[in-house]
Amino acid sequence: MNIGITDRNTDIVDRNADIANRDADIVDKSKGVENDVLKVEHLSVSFTQYGRGLRRRTLHAVEDLNLSVRAGEIVAVAGSSGSGKSLLAHAVMGILPYNANMDGTVYYDGEILTKERAKRLRGREIVLVPQSVSYLDPLMKIGPQVTKGKNDAATREKSRRVLAGYGLSEDVEEKYPFQLSGGMIRRVLIATAVMETPKLVIADEPTPGLHPEAAKRVMGHFREIADTGAGVLLITHDLELALSAADRITVLYGGRTVGEAAAADFLCEEKLEHPYMKALCRSMPKNWNWDGYKLCDSGEILEYMRKEYGR
Amino acid sequence: MTQKTGKLKFIGKQAVRMAVLLFLASVFAFALLTVSPVDPLQTNVGQTALGSMSPEQIEKLKAYWGAGVPPVKRYLSWAAAFIRGDMGISLLYRRPVAAVIAEKLANSALLLFSAWLISGALGFLMGILAGKRRGGLADRIVTGVSLVIAGTPAFWIGMVFLMIFAVQLKLFPIGLSVPIGVAADEVTLADRLYHAVLPAAALSVTGISQIALHTREKMIEVMESDYVLFARARGESETAVILRHGLRNILLPAMTLQLSSVSEIIGGSVLIEQVFSYPGLGQAAVTAGLGADVPLLLGITVITAAIVFLGNMTANILYGVVDPRIREGAMRG
Amino acid sequence: MSTDRAFWKDRRFRMLALAAAAAAFLLAVTVLGSVWHDAALETDFSRKNLAPCLKYPFGTDWMGRDMFARTVAGLSLSIRLGILTACVSAAIAFVLGLSAAVMGRFADGAVTMMIDLVMGIPHILLLVLISYACGKGFKGVVIGVSLTHWASLARLIRGEVLQLKASPYVKIAEKLGKGKLYIAFRHMAPNLFPQFITGLILLFPHAILHEASVTFLGFGLSPEQPAIGVILSESMNHLAMGRWWLALFPGLFLVASVLLFHYIGQTVCRLIDPGSVHE
């Protein structure tokens, strides 16, 4: 019980520090702030790397990234591979690798998400849906992985119910990860998230390798989760998928935010401000016209991006 | 194919592989001993020794080492006798090689087995502590200690132990496996244990570094894996991560490592037994090598190789039986 | 941020400087030892069994020989032997590892078998066997150590080559009809270079240790030679009389040079093949 009290005390301290920070936001975004489950401001993640000989460089994987996720909403972060998208998830949860440096501020539920607070909340209120089978212990059966090893009747009952909800039969619990198909693994990974009652779900590339039908079904699962009042942060390289499922989309380029737009804005190019986003919009199959195709193909826009964003 | 026959086939394959390796080892050792310019009959047995042997023994000796017999034929007669359990007569001990090896191996067994267990257990613990957090204090200490041990010759570790615990502190005897001047049947188990403590301790220390460094590497691999990252993301505590995922995934490689460290422990015992004048298999090997006792050296080589290969084979089979990925997947094939 | 950077940079340079100092030390010992070869053999019974003092920092033995000169001379011999045998072993490893992976299944099976065989017989026992096969003596040690250290490096190179074989540019070269040998030396050998050099340097300490061990057992160098193994083996007879310096200093020096070689190897590894070592 003592622990609870100290927790609350630190929370109050956090909140006080936070209120000062938030004043600036309230001015222009008076409506949204209270509902923000997650708010990321000026996030940077960098690594120090050694090359051959005495060469040494700092690699900026994520630079000055901003985004927010409201309750009940799916926000997609879309960017090409290698744009540091996974690191965003790891940074929010406080599980970056030991050689990474992180800068910037993360707010969760209106308060600064410190490393200690993230440690307390992750796996409970903040859950991760990782991208592949390698995130499951190869030598542990599915059952104990879903229940995190808890063996009481209630937990086992819940795990059975959750797995059944995703169309996974009871014998899946007795299987090892390598014995399941890609689609089943995906559903198991989502099930681990729903075992808790999350307020924020971070899904890191939850669909690659799935055929469009299955991907759509997976997205449906995330919509269900959002409908229960949780915020969903969807990290993906697949813009079209993001558009079909998300309410808002943040586009990354080389680890930096290019811009943010409502999913609906992508239907109409004129509503988008940034040339890269305009080009992305045009390059989508359903919006394909000769002009857009040429623009991307010629690399003009990429050249522009390289100049602007240094990649 | 059913799983059971698949399993049997897998084990059979391993056994055949071991038999082939053992055969090759004996051919290799035989060839090396044959090309040697040292003539065992001339340099070793000499006139007096030949005189003290029975005519049949001399005949047998000549059958192995006599001039004019081609090496292949000599090998075949040696191998045929070996399979029947007859490894020839030791030139130095004047007794059947099998009897000499049995006696020496019995002496060494205590030393080898305890050092094997102690170095394995300590190395495993140290490796886990170090690999838990790469670059942490425990990691730096364990890696440093292991590197120093790996860089120290086994015999010198034995000598340092001898200087400190036997000569300076006088806690333990300087050598041998039994007290001097005591009849063989009066030697108690306590005496044997007392004499084995120091060599066993020295041998254990020499074996630690390999196990610790390899376990550390595996542990780091596990702790930096995606599934441990996910376990952390799900709020599992560091202890739970180590106990639930770390140990589970490190146990198999550690077992393999432990079973394949037999070779190193036996190699170390050759040096350690020499330092402590411990009358075991290792010392017998050195004596046989220096004294050109070819039958004994050959016998010891084949027997040790058999022990080592048996360890490796056990490791391979255990892997197949314990690892579900192999047990239920790759083993059919 | 900037102080952090300076620290990292510093650390790399410090590592390199230390490795250079280690190499200089080992070189000095090697040269000094070969110059002092005669001093190491010189006996003088007026100064026998002296404990370490200013004039004889490592003491003297029962024949009045200066242990410092003997240690340095012995170490010099060990280092020269170690470098020679490690180079031979590394060359064997390179050829066998490469041919195992390039020359088809039969060669691969044969080399893998040989690796298992060499690793299956305890190293010391194998050294004893080979040394005996060579009629013992100096030759036996050199050949023995050279022929027994290639196995682990060969296994490493074989694995590396198997990976390279699957790489696109080797596949393209095959499609273009280039010969196996051409591909092996033109496309693979350059890529193996970092591993090979690191492996070679890391073989030095092993070779030195095993040379000392087999000499300690009495195979190899003759008793009057100032070799570390011989010195330590002789000191065994005087341990019980409390002449600890005969065993302590030569042993410490041996361990120190082995560790210095290891450090140099690690540093080189980090500099030329940074991917293999995390920091």
The answer on pLDDT for C197 being more than 80 is yes
**Closest CA in chain A for residue C194:** A52
Angle subtended by helix axes B281-290 and C123-133, to nearest 10: 10
- Bridge partners (DSSP) of residue A44 are A103
pLDDT of residue C224: 74
Contacting residues of C for A54, CB less than 8 Å apart: 12-13, 16, 271
CB-based contact B309:B21 (threshold 8 Å)? yes
Q: What pLDDT digit, counting tens, does each position of C243-256 carry?
A: 788 888 899 999 99
Is the Cβ pair B312, C212 closer than 8 Å? no
**pLDDT band for position A10 (cuts 50, 70, 90):** very low
Q: Which of A169-183, A237-251, B39-53 has the lowest mean pLDDT?
A: B39-53
pLDDT of residue B285: 93
pLDDT of residue A19: 41
pLDDT of residue B328: 64
Name the residue with higher pLDDT: B229 or A1: B229
Q: Tell me, what DSSP letter sits at residue A285?
A: G
CA distance linking residue B127 with residue B209, whole number of Å: 9
Q: Residue C216: inside a domain, yes or no? A: yes
Cross-sheet strand order for the sheet of A36-50: A56-70, A36-50, A100-108, A111-112
Q: What pLDDT digit, counting tens, does each position of B282-323 carry?
A: 999 999 988 888 889 999 999 999 999 999 899 888 887 777
**pLDDT band for position A7 (cuts 50, 70, 90):** very low
User: Which chains are within 8 Å of C by 3+ CB pairs?
Assistant: A, B
Helix (H, G, I), strand (E, B) or coil at A103: strand
pLDDT of residue A298: 47
Within 8 A by CB and 6+ apart from B312, the residues are: B18, B259, B260, C116, C120
Domain ranges of chain B: 3-39+70-332
Among chain C, residues having any CB pair with chain A shorter than 8 Å are 4-5, 8-9, 12-13, 16, 270-274, 278-279
3-state SS track over chain C: CHHHHHHHHHHHHHHHHHHHHHHHHHHHHHHHHHHCHHHHHCCCHHHCCCCCCCCCCCCECCCCCEHHHHHHHHHHHHHHHHHHHHHHHHHHHHHHHHHHHHCCHHHHHHHHHHHHHHHHCCHHHHHHHHHHHCCCHHHHHHHHHHHHCCHHHHHHHHHHHHHHHCCHHHHHHHHCCCCHHHHHHHHHHHHHHHHHHHHHHHHHHHHHHHHHHHHHCCCCCCCCCCCHHHHHHHHHHHCCCCCCHHHHHHHHHHHHHHHHHHHHHHHHHHHHCHHHCCC
Q: What pLDDT digit, counting tens, does each position of A276-301 carry?
A: 777 776 666 655 554 444 444 446 66
DSSP of B171-189? -S-SS-SS-TT--GGG--H
pLDDT of residue B331: 40
The answer on pLDDT for C82 being more than 60 is yes
Q: What pLDDT digit, counting tens, does each position of B78-135 carry?
A: 888 888 888 888 888 888 999 999 999 998 998 999 999 999 999 999 999 999 988 8
Q: Measured between CA atoms, how close is C13 to chain A, in angstroms?
A: 8
CA distance linking residue A102 with residue A117, whole number of Å: 16
The interface predicted TM-score of the complex, written ipTM, equals 0.84
Is the Cβ pair C5, A58 closer than 8 Å? yes
Nearest in space to C246 (alpha carbons), one of C257, C254, C238: C238
Backbone Cα Rg of chain A = 21
User: Stretch A243-259: mean pLDDT, rounded?
Assistant: 82
Alpha helices in A263-299 (DSSP H): 275-283, 290-298
User: Stretch B227-239: mean pLDDT, rounded?
Assistant: 91
Burial (CB count <10 Å: 0-12, 13-18, 19+), residue B249:
buried
Look at chain C and report how many structural domains it folds into.
1
User: Stretch B143-148: mean pLDDT, rounded?
Assistant: 93
pLDDT of residue A12: 41
CA distance linking residue B182 with residue B192, whole number of Å: 12
Amino acid letter, residue B285: A
Q: Tell me, what DSSP letter sits at residue A126?
A: E
**Closest CA in chain C for residue A51:** C274
Contacting residues of A for C279, CB less than 8 Å apart: 50, 99
Q: Residue C222: inside a domain, yes or no? A: yes
Is the Cβ pair B292, C247 closer than 8 Å? no
Find which of B60-69, B89-98, C5-14 is predicted with most confidence, using mean pLDDT. B89-98
Structure-derived torsion over alpha carbons of residues A216, A218, A221, A222, reported in degrees to the nearest 10: -90
Token pair in block for residue A307: 């100049």
Average pLDDT value over all residues in chain A: 77
Q: What is the CATH number of the domain that holds C109?
A: 1.10.3720.10
Residue B86: C-alpha distances to residues B99, B264, C131 (Å):
10, 28, 26
How crowded is residue B71: how many other Cβ atoms within 10 Å of its Cβ? Answer: 12
The answer on pLDDT for B247 being more than 80 is yes
Name the residue with higher pLDDT: B119 or C45: B119
pLDDT of residue B147: 92
- What domain range includes position C29? 12-36+61-278
Is C235 touching B (CB cutoff 8 A)? yes
Is the Cβ pair C132, B148 closer than 8 Å? no
CA distance linking residue A273 with residue A286, whole number of Å: 20
Nearest in space to C111 (alpha carbons), one of C124, C127, C93: C93
Is A58 touching C (CB cutoff 8 A)? yes
Is the Cβ pair B33, C129 closer than 8 Å? yes
Contacting residues of B for C254, CB less than 8 Å apart: 153, 156
Token pair in block for residue B220: 């780091």
CA distance linking residue B28 with residue C28, whole number of Å: 40
CB-based contact C128:C220 (threshold 8 Å)? no
**pLDDT band for position A32 (cuts 50, 70, 90):** very low
The model carries a pTM of 0.82
Contacting residues of B for A97, CB less than 8 Å apart: 224
Residue the block writes with tokens 């040790």:
B304
Helix (H), strand (E) counts: chain A: 11, 10
Q: Measured between CA atoms, how close is B215 to chain A, in angstroms?
A: 18
Phi and psi at residue A252, in whole multiples of 5°? -105, 150
Angle subtended by helix axes B189-223 and B137-150, to nearest 10: 130
Find which of A4-18, A191-205, C30-44, C184-198 is predicted with most confidence, using mean pLDDT. A191-205
Residue the block writes with tokens 């909140």:
A15
CATH topology for the B3-39+70-332 domain: MetI-like fold (1.10.3720)
Nearest in space to A147 (alpha carbons), one of A99, A206, A88, A194: A194
Find which of A261-275, A291-305, C150-164, C248-262 is predicted with most confidence, using mean pLDDT. C248-262
Q: Residue C6: inside a domain, yes or no? A: no
Amino acid letter, residue C264: I
Is the Cβ pair C122, B308 closer than 8 Å? yes
Is the Cβ pair A54, C271 closer than 8 Å? yes
CA atoms within 13 A on the CB side of C176: 9
Phi and psi at residue B295, in whole multiples of 5°? -60, -40
- Interface contacts (B, C; CB < 8 Å): 140
Nearest in space to A138 (alpha carbons), one of B232, B127, B322, B215: B322
CB-based contact B323:B252 (threshold 8 Å)? yes
pLDDT of residue B229: 92
CB-based contact B308:B270 (threshold 8 Å)? no
Average pLDDT value over all residues in chain B: 84
Helix (H, G, I), strand (E, B) or coil at A140: coil
Q: Residue C103: inside a domain, yes or no? A: yes
User: Which chains are within 8 Å of B by 3+ CB pairs?
Assistant: A, C
Q: Residue C154: inside a domain, yes or no? A: yes
Q: Measured between CA atoms, how close is A288 to chain B, in angstroms?
A: 38
- For an interface test with C, the pick among B145, B162, B163 (most C C-beta atoms closer than 10 Å) comes out as B163
Contacting residues of A for B232, CB less than 8 Å apart: 95, 122
CA distance linking residue A241 with residue A78, whole number of Å: 10
Q: What is the largest CA-CA distance in chain A?
A: 67
CA distance linking residue A91 with residue A103, whole number of Å: 10
